[in-house]
Structure 1
Amino acid sequence: MSMELDELKSAWQTLDRRLADQQALQWQMFRGQHMDRLRLGLRPLRWWQAVQLALGVLVLLWGVCVWSSHLHTPMALASGIALQVFGTLAAVFAGRILGLLNRIDYASPVLDIQRRLAQLRRWRVRVEAPVFAALGSVIWIPVMLVLIQYDFDRQGHDYWDQAPGLLLWMLLCAAVSLAVVALAYGLVRYLGKRRWMEDQFAGACVTRAERMLDEIARFERE
């Protein structure tokens, strides 16, 4: 009788180990599939940041070419410097996002990956979005001024002293654009859509990745 109990106990232990091994295998397969989807889901963000980095460098070089060839034209000089600053920021911000993406180790615990994504979200929502919302409202001014300067260069004359109203009109439009951005931000917060707005700033890739990690974490707890 004792031998039968020992055999039964051994069989139960063997069955428990097999069930544990099967559950571990299922967990590994589930995690592997979702991590592959997570990596693929973040790939468009990586591609776009690479494009932004290249465009930022091009705008930076454009700005340098403008101001270095118009050192004695204050309007063109200032516009070229503004383009250089904007291009530099675009490249630096893209590099920052790429760096944060590269720091994600898909083999690490889910909590660590969630922490990395939270850091990426904070950067995009609290730094990148406000900066580009403000700069995007006014960057068209130096672009227009540079294009006008090119037209002056083709004519061989500089008529900036005869067109002060044009610059004032552009500055007024920029002020209106900034006011519209601030008004839209305040309205969204007033309507209780702040989380929706932050999701838009973070990007669809990030929000999908966060939901996927939450699903993995729930499966892991269960």
Structure 2
Amino acid sequence: MDLDDMKLAWQVLDQRLDRQHALNLQLFREGRMEKLRRGLRPLVWGQVAQIVLGSVLIGLAVAFWTTQGHVVHLLVCGLLIQLYGVLLIAFAARILYLVQRIDHAAPVLLIQRQLAELRAWRVKVEAPVNAILGCFVWIPVLWMNLAWYGFDLWSPGFFYWAMGSGLVGVAAVVVVVWWMRRAGMARKIEDNAAGRSLQKAEAVLDEISRFEQE
């Protein structure tokens, strides 16, 4: 075999190896992308459940304030619960939109950016809003539930106590977050806010990225 034949043989072998590597990469990517889809399903189901919950709250709130609207503070409680239900639906719809727009056929870098947008929404918007609202939403919920049975909690003393409890809750959240950040657990806070489904999806993309670089 002369030199030209050897060069041609090496070129053919290189082409076959490149095709084999491309095929392996495609199969690996397809398998991991399916894993990514499955990993995001619990997040999707959670948002669907949140939409149902928000719809139920809206229905109950409307049924409440339309019958108790002659009492101002009860009307306000019903409207606040209705607004909270709308917010739950809006937040869930935003998450579903961000998940749906993920292009699983796109380059890994683009998908990572899309997941980063989803993470930013959950960590920087959804988590702090839910934490603050969670400290106060129990007040109109309790008020409305008891009013159904004819118990009206209205009094300046109860109102100030309830609002004070909510503010204490907010302060506690702020202190805990501050302490965890000071202790070097900022990433843990963000991961908890992002959720396990998103963390698993990010890990899958990291696997694909490493495989492509090998």
**TM exceeds 0.5?**
yes
Residue 8 (structure 1) aligns with: 6
Cα 1:70–1:124, aligned 2, differ >3 Å: closer, same or farther?
Answer: same
Q: Which amino acid aligns with 2:30?
A: G
What SS does the corresponding residue of 1:196 show, helix, strand or coil?
Answer: helix
Aligned to 2:101: 103
Q: What amino acid is the match of 2:7?
A: K
How many residues align? The count is: 214
Alignment check: 8 A CA contact 1:59 1:84 kept: yes
1:33 maps to what in 2?
31
Q: Return 5+ residue gaps in structure 2 as ranges.
A: none
SS of residue paired to 1:117: helix
* Structure 1 residues 167 and 34: alpha-carbon distance in aligned structure 2, compared to 1, 3 A threshold: same
Q: Deviations over 1:33-85 (max 9, x none)?
A: 11111111111001101111111111122222222221211121011011011
Q: Deviations over 1:154-207 (max 9, x none)?
A: xxxx7556x443333322222221221122122112212111101100011111
After TM superposition, list the pairs within 5 Å mapping 1:45-56 onto structure 2: 45-56=43-54
Which residue of structure 1 aligns with residue 86 of structure 2? Answer: 88
Which segment drifts farther, 103-112 or 177-186?
Answer: 177-186
Extract unaligned runs of 5+ from structure 1: 153-157
* 1:201 matched to 2:201: no
Is 1:42 matched up with 2:40? Answer: yes
Question: Bigger shift: 27-36 or 163-172?
Answer: 163-172
Q: Which has the larger radius of gyration?
A: 1
Q: 1:104 and 1:181 mapped to 2: Cα distance?
A: 32
TM-score by length of 2: 0.94
Identity %: 45
**Aligned equivalent of 1:167:** 159
Provide TM-score, normalisation by structure 1.
0.91
1:80/1:142 contact within 8 Å kept: yes
